[in-house]
Structures are given as structure tokens and as C-alpha cells.
Structure 1
Amino acid sequence: MKRVVKIRILVIHTAFIGDIVLSTPLLRKIKDVYPNSDITYVTTPAGAAILRNNPNISEIIEYDKRGKHKGILGIYQLGKRLKYENFNIVITPHRYMRSSILSWLTGSPVRKGYKNADLSFLYTEKIEYDKKKHEVEKLLSFISKDTDKRYEIELYPNIKDIEKVDEMLKGDGDKKIVVIAPGSKWFTKKWPLEYFNEVLKELKNREDIILAVVGGNEERALNIETGGNIVDFRGKTTLLELAELIRRAELIVTNDSSPIHIASAWKNVKILAIFGPTVKELGFFPWSKNSVVFQREELKCRPCSLHGGDKCPEKHFKCMVDIKPELILDEIYKTIGRE
């Protein structure tokens, strides 16, 4: 009987939650091309939380770069552990110095990273970072085998996540769910809060829907509209519970932030994505085909940065304030109908 040799593959990606979600199609492609592979994934604690239960991953290792793995000593200690694993291939989509060093410390004979990554000379294979491609397509290029298959985002809430969402909905799960995600790490990526509140005020008295306001603990400080059919989930869900809640929704209204990518895992959920300082060409538009993007394409000052910022450089913030609530409400009504 022929002995099957396992290929040991390591993925190092310690970026934001949305970036980690967007890497799940790559995991599926790795398993398609290397069916006898074991995949280990090194990521942040938040990244580990959203990747849990993914059947393509054999092991998740948390890289706590602000805690026990902080600084050069922390990187060295984690790298030493990874070296003992004898990985055949290391894939590092994260383009920052710490990730490049960590890849090198594994001692793997094949270390793939982007050409424009910090310390890219530490990689044995350098991948072109094609700015014209969606982030998912960029990530898929780490496995060079061409295929016509479209790889989808995959998230895996488990039975406990499902039961928790059942409990939080308190028997209202038969109503249509409209998810509202007003947060973002970056100020200029946030559609004005008063606009979100106008949408909530318009819909809060409808008895056939639930308005589910979502976000992390940071968003709890937002003075969001309350009452009626509005249910506040901010700071009350894990990432996979959030994914399960979004899975049940008719649609989601969201800034350019991680909920876009989480929602892209579910074909039935319509995504209404609001883009201000960022543009499609940066590669982070919804991967889901069931999506509508709102943006001011004619503004010459867009994009003003890769991630957004703390204030509008032009001091007018037209990219957001000119996207009026009526535009969003019209698209919502196309999906859930008017009363």
C-alpha cells in the first residue's frame, strides 16, 4: 500500500478581521490543489475567533503581538516553535515586517510573500501584488494553479453560535432581519451617524422586521437610535455569532468594514456597502455578487488613503455626506418592500 505523504502548509496573516475573512477562499484552493495537506494558520486572537470550525484548517496558532508575543523576543519564540513543525510551504499575505521575519524564522524551504512586502528578500518566492485585482483574487494567486472555479468566502458558526442567536432574537426570528453596521476603525470610513439614525427612524415602527444594530464594544459609545423594532447587538456577540446573525438577514447596511466581508459568506444576504474615502480599485469591495455599492465616483479626491483617516483632508467630507439616507432607504425597500 502506497504511503500518503502529508504536505505541511503554514499561512501567516495577522491583519484586520476583514482581511482574515477574505483569506478563506485561499484555504479552500490550497485543499483543492494539495488534498493531502495539513494547514496551520497563524493569526491574531480576533482572526482565530472568526476562523474557528473551518474544516480546511488543521491548527490555528494565535499570535498575540500586543501581549505574550510582543517585540523581537516574542517573534523569535513563536518562530522557534514554528521551525520545529517543519513546514513544506509558508504563505504570508501580510506585508509587514514582523510577518516577513516570522516566515523566515520557520526555516521552510518555500516561503511565499508579496514582492512589495517589508523585507521581501526573506521570501524564496515573491508574488506580484496586483492592485487591479480584488483582495480575494490577490490571495488566490499564492497558489499559482489556474482554475475557472470561483472560490467563495467560508465561515462556520457552530451549534452554540446558532443557539445563542436564537436566544438573542427571543422568538422574533420569523421576522425579516435588517442588519445595521455603523462602525469602522477609521473615522472617514463612517457614514454619518445621523444618516444611520434617519434610516432607523424611518423603519423602527415596522412590525414585520427587526433592525439589528451590530458592532464591537467601540461602537457602544455611538448615540444610536433606540426603541420600536431596534435590537442592539453591539458588544454582545462573538464574531461567529455575528456571522450567524448576518446569515439570517435579508440585507445589511454597512460601511467599508469587516461586516461587508462577513456578509459576503452568505449568498442570500444583500449587502448595501457605503464607500467614502476608499475605492473599488483598492480591492476591498464586496466579494458577494448580491451587493450594491454607494459611492461618489466623480470626486477627484478619492481615494485619499488606503484605510481612511481621522479627518477629511479636503475638510468637506463630500464622499460621505453626499450619500443621502434616501438612497439607502430606496434600496432597502427594493428588498423588503414598503408597508
Structure 2
Amino acid sequence: MNVLIIQTAFIGDVVLSTPLIEKVRDAYPEGRITYVTTPVGASILRNNPNLEEIIEYDKRGEHKGIRGLMALGKRLKYKNFDLVICPHRYLRSSLLAWLTGCNRRLGYDNAAGKFLFTEKIHYDKDKHEVEKLLSFVKGNESKRYEIKLYPGRKERESIEKIWRDRNIEGKKVVTIAPGSKWFTKKWPVEYFNDLIERLGKRDDIVMVFIGGNDELFLNIKETKNTVNLIGETNLLEVAEIARRSDIVLTNDSSPIHIASAWPETHIVAIFGATVKELGFFPWSLNSQVIENKGLPCRPCGLHGGKKCPKGHFKCMLDLKPEMVMEKIEKKLNEIKR
């Protein structure tokens, strides 16, 4: 069986698809699985033992525009796939699935290009995103498929050196991810700084800051027990940091899903404009979501937005630092070192 998975959305969407990869492998143990994703998506999937090939779809470079899409489609057609699975609901991905020429193309029944699929999978909005993805393949429905990431030797050694050089070994580690692509998904920086100041009074912990280049412009407070790695790590290094962390504090963003790969890491996720019911809450059972449940205006969108539509931003402003501090301290005090 020659299987292709197409997912060219955000990093978190790619991470959430790793249980699907494993289920496809279980369904076709002798099969060949190829994955088409963005260059950044390819970087988080590296070393996955269930994938024979990862093909980068560079929408802004080599494969830009319709000509680039056609060129990639032609390349994929030569591979003679028996099955194409396309969880991405945007038209471009549906077109790419069709261009493969495969006779069996699966996509969601609410995808923009659903008419290009030979089989439509019901998009059950009441399920977690992982459960939705798993519905593409029949198999062991009683098995709980987990998110799995595979930092390689290079990533492990890189983070090991940081842990050694910064005397992190033996300390309780709270990793903090203050960023998000969307403003209404961001807990205020001043709230993060308040929390960092409170945690900075403890001698038994180290706070590690993670994020991409966009987060370099956040005015995050540093104390004697903080290690700022914002803009300095790749995604598999972030995964290795999450593996070594006791707690990951994050907005509703990709670190939720990256940290969900490690069952021993406790996730504290802050949800503002979005809600758990959209299906993108932590898949890890070792997690909790902090949110303002009393607001009728939530959610105001699937991905959040550039500003609060109501102008009050209560979904985040009402989640005070002391509320989050209480949750983190309770968990820290349960950890024995």
C-alpha cells in the first residue's frame, strides 16, 4: 500500500496528525507512507520512523502559485499512490490531492475542495482534532493513539549542553511559551512578567522561555533563574525542551501540541478567544486549561484575531496572574526532587 498524507496547515496541525501517521502504519504495516507538508512542518516530522518520505510544499518559494502547484502535483503523480489522505480543508491541498491522479482520495465533507475527493469523511466538530484525524482510517478503535515527536541526536545534545551550562539539572523546570500568531490568543505580557517575578522568588526552579523570532519583540522579564531561548531553537529542540520540563505554560498555540508528546510533562494552557470545544485543547491527559468560561462572546473565531471584537478583551484580562500562579505552584509542590 502506497499512502500519501497531505497537511500543509500550521505547525500545531502537523503535530496533531502524528497519531494518524501511526494509525496508518498499523493499518498497513508493510506499506509506504509519504507526507507532504510545508518546510516548517517537515522540520517537526523529521526522524518519524513511520514515514518513508517527507516532501516539502514550499508555497512561498519553489511551489508558489498555480504553476508551482502543478509541478508538485506532477511529481506526486509519478509515485502512483494507492490512497491519498488530505485533512487540510483548503482548496489548494484538495487540488494537490486530485493532481496525484490517485483513484482513492479522502478528505473532509466540509473542505473547500470536497468535490475533488472520492470519499468524504464527516468532520465531527464535537470531537478533538486528533479524533477527527483518526477517523480517516479504520483500525483498532479502542487504542489511544498518542502524539509522538522524535528529537534526534543533534537536538538532544544541543539541549543537554544548555542544561549543563546553565545548571538546570536537578531543578524543577517551568517552560514558558508567551507567543501566538494571533493577538487574542496571547495572555498579556505584563501578566507573564508578573508571574515570572513571583516564580523568580523560588530557588528550586528554572524558567525556560521558548518561542520564534516574532516573540523576540516581547518585553519578557528575566530573573536570576530564567533561561531565555526565544529565537534560538528549532522545533525539535523545543520538543526536547518540553520533554525535559516539569510544566509547560503556554497560550493556545503549537507548544500545547508539542508538549502533548510527553506524558510526564504537565501542560497549563491559557485559552482566551478560543475554547476547548473547538477541538484543539491539549491531547495529553496530563494537562489543564485555564479559561474565562462566563463570557458569552467566546469563541470569537476559530483562530483568534488581531483585536478583541468587543473591545474589552475580558477573555484574557480577567485571567489574573495569581490565578495561574496558584495552578503552577500546586503542581510544583507535588514534584519531588
User: Could you state the TM-score of these two structures normalised by the residue count of structure 2?
Assistant: 0.97
Q: Which runs of 5+ in 1 are unaligned?
A: 1-6
* Residues 86 and 97, structure 2, Cα contact 8 Å, conserved in 1: yes
Aligned to 2:98: 104
Q: Distance in 2 between matches of 1:74 and 1:286?
A: 35
- 1:296 positional shift: 1.1
**What SS does the aligned partner of 2:306 have?**
coil
Cα RMSD of the aligned pairs, angstroms, is 1.2
**What SS does the aligned partner of 1:337 have?**
helix
Of 281, 284, 287 in structure 2, the residue corresponding to residue 285 of structure 1 is 281
Counterparts of residues 326-337 of structure 1 (less than 5 Å): 326-337=322-333
- 1:144 positional shift: 2.7
> In the alignment, residue 126 of structure 2 is paired with which amino acid?
K
Aligned to 2:6: 12
Counterparts of residues 151-300 of structure 1 (less than 5 Å): 151-169=145-163, 170=165, 171-300=167-296
Q: For 1:19-46, what per-residue CA distance to the aligned partner results, in whole angstroms no more than 9, with x for missing partners?
A: 0000000001011111111100000011
Question: Matched residue pairs, number?
Answer: 333
Aligned to 2:22: 28
> In the alignment, residue 95 of structure 1 is paired with which amino acid?
R
Aligned to 1:3: none
Of 71, 83, 98 in structure 2, the residue corresponding to residue 77 of structure 1 is 71
Q: Distance in 2 between matches of 1:337 and 1:174?
A: 15
* Residues 186 and 310, structure 1, Cα contact 8 Å, conserved in 2: yes
> Does structure 1 residue 144 correspond to structure 2 residue 166?
no
Q: Distance in 1 between matches of 2:138 and 2:333?
A: 45
Q: Distance in 2 between matches of 1:159 and 1:208?
A: 28
Q: Which runs of 5+ in 2 are unaligned?
A: none
User: What percent identity do the matched residue pairs reach?
Assistant: 61
- 1:281 positional shift: 1.4
Aligned to 1:62: 56
Q: For 1:281-302, what per-residue CA distance to the aligned partner results, in whole angstroms no more than 9, with x for missing partners?
A: 1110000111111111121000
> In the alignment, residue 248 of structure 2 is paired with which amino acid?
I
- 1:69 positional shift: 0.3
**What SS does the aligned partner of 1:211 have?**
strand
**What SS does the aligned partner of 2:47 have?**
coil
> Does structure 1 residue 117 correspond to structure 2 residue 119?
no
* Residues 27 and 138, structure 2, Cα contact 8 Å, conserved in 1: no
Q: For 1:212-245, what per-residue CA distance to the aligned partner results, in whole angstroms no more than 9, with x for missing partners?
A: 0110010010000013111101011110000001
Q: Distance in 2 between matches of 1:254 and 1:27?
A: 26
Q: Distance in 2 between matches of 1:300 and 1:203?
A: 33
* Residues 23 and 139, structure 2, Cα contact 8 Å, conserved in 1: no
